[in-house]
Structure 1
């Protein structure tokens, strides 16, 4: 567009007045067709078109931020046994031994003393776990376990109790989702303190039957032979893996792993 400086000296030029401004433009007939058509377009419509084509998404189209994940309730893994060196490495204390093996494998220190128990806290994967060894002696185990469950509000289905079983062959494991005490005084005490609730998983470790006419009470307090302890070490490796599967993949997969026959070479 050509602007002329003196509007009065050039008769072909049309003077157009704007507020507070005076400019001279060439008559519209001298404009090129493309420029003329451009000036004739309704400018507001063109602006709306450009804005709408690049307008940002409405807030409703944006996904809301995820809600913060609620912390998981810890799993309580309890090993049953009797406190004191007198009972170390005895058959009745295999629950203690397996819990110690889990603690060592997972880097958890069982050093706190509370609720009449030795207690250690840690994680398996991202799942919190509490390892517990009641110090009340076997027949009063429920006093300690019941208090911990009540204080931390742990669901019974997240309480795994590990203990010895006379009715299982030596070094064999058995995982069950629930059940009675089967004559085991430690389990009886726990069920009593759970107000009769039996719906909690348990991992039984076979210690075999007493030979001949030996009193079962004396048998469970006998220490393992060196060969038996070596065999148990293989069993404990399976027990550690069973607990990992239980926490990370669920009870059914853990029970399948535990209750499936293992190669005989592990018992060699």
Structure 2
């Protein structure tokens, strides 16, 4: 992902997202889990607050993935969105998304030093998220 001039682009004109180049069809495909947060509303379109949305859109477009809106049973604060992009046929995504939200709640929202505009940089969150994804991949793929 490339952002021109500054990683703190504030307008749609400042932010330029370059989609990744499509992979050759002969390369093996591995499951992806992309979790992205962003702020809803037109005033945030094209700003650094929605780089996550732009990244997900660019990756999905480059990979030929259609993103559909699906509602999950998770207690999410107003405006907080989680996106999961996965290959067709992946099962149990609702359960995995619940785990992601629980980790987010435990390690990010309950941290008294975290502010909503800050990037999520918590080692325990990263470790537990990686373990949850690996556990889910093992359950789904038998690997």
TM score, norm. by length of structure 2: 0.35
Specify which structure has the higher proportion of strand.
1
Scaled by the length of structure 1, the TM-score of the pair is 0.23
